[in-house]
A and B are shown apart, each in its own frame.
Chain A
């Protein structure tokens, strides 16, 4: 006999053979009588209509209470929205930061409230608070920019990698994914990076790659090269050179079989794409070809 055969029997699920066997058992008569008797059993009367009517009455009682609350709630909602709008526009008009950004292959010159100048390189963004400028000269930077700071109070450039503070000078800050570089062209710049402060004299650079400070040679120019439509590198991993190429020429770069960690020293043009490609590929001993609107750099030995 199968498992739970009594349940199967009550449900008419026994096979003929099983049923015959069951009917021949001693206990069958008792089981049959229980089943038959319980079949004729009845639960107490339930007045469904009456219950529904009673339920409706109780429902209305509760619903009414809710309705009396509605007008006030609506008023509160409107008031809350209005308050947010008023506060929001106040904050926007008075306290919001000025934000200026550039996209690929674009540079912008910005004059700050104290006549300090900022030149934004491609794919970069600065923001500062105009209303608080008199108290604090503070600029948030993503990407790369050159600063010519008017003499005055401490001037701070904040990036997610580190802060650069000066009194009055000319310097360049580049903060790209994993790459942070500050070059001082005039005066003295202090760079706060990972809790250490480095003083940069004119003509020197501070470079950190993936959080590691890297020794770098001195710059011998008075302005960063990108301001003359040229990107220059001194012992920089090829990866960052290609990233910069992407930004300056707005062309997506793909690579295959090349060592992105090899150091690159040299420069490429920001205006002439063909020349720039050669400037990168020849000294690095790699090849390139166009694939649709992308450019693929690949190793010399790749078939």
Chain B
């Protein structure tokens, strides 16, 4: 990315690259936060529109954190009202286990996991899912959230700990 980023953000190609590299993550980020796809889609548009309007003032190396900051601030005061619903990759369905009892137990577990995820504080859920689903490194998440890597590790630790406690009913 660095090589392509050295132009001006007003440059169509630089902007295009920035959009392709970050829009999906921003979408997911906002979705993990509010559980609303439409809102997440809007935030992506608004954040990049803002970047385009200020393209002459934002140096390319700052563009990424600029969009994350804008995205983060857009719905700062909105309280999460909806459930974050996540799908599961097909592979789990294609397992050889067709024992109905196993399937039931599996679904029950997923239900509990869903509930536990939704019960997490926003920042823990976002961090946890960005790592598990988007495969983001702790350092990357730290950059997006503008906190230290250590803080991200703390969130991950606490998130996993409380997920287990919720699911196991401790």
Contact = CB atoms under 8 A, between A and B. Distances in A.
A37 interface: yes
B157 A4 contact: yes
Interface string A270-284: 000000000000000
Contacts of A41: 86-89, 129, 132-133
Contacts of B134: 43
B157 A5 contact: yes
A91 to B, nearest CB: 35
Interface stretch (B21-29, B56-64, B75-83): B21-29
Interface stretch (A55-63, A208-216, A238-246): A55-63
A42 interface: yes
A64 interface: no
A291 interface: no
B138 A11 contact: yes
Nearest to A39: B132
B138 A7 contact: yes
B24 A6 contact: no
A38 B168 contact: no
A4 B154 contact: yes
The binding surface of chain A is classed by DSSP as helix
Contact of A6 (B16, B44, B156): B156
Contact of B160 (A34, A48, A59): A34
Contacts of B2: none
A40 interface: yes
B45 A54 contact: yes
B31 interface: yes
Interface in A198-228: none
Contact of A48 (B24, B109, B138): B24
Nearest to B12: A56
Contact of A37 (B37, B41, B113, B131): B113
A48 B20 contact: yes
Given A31-B164, A34-B160, A8 B86 contact: no
A175 B44 CA distance: 67
A40 B27 CA distance: 19
10 contacts: A4-B153, A30-B164, A35-B160, A41-B89, A43-B32, A43-B134, A48-B23, A51-B27, A51-B44, A59-B52
Given A34-B163, A55-B49, A58-B49, 14 more contacts: A6-B160, A7-B160, A10-B160, A33-B109, A34-B113, A37-B113, A41-B86, A41-B133, A43-B129, A46-B44, A48-B19, A51-B23, A51-B27, A62-B49
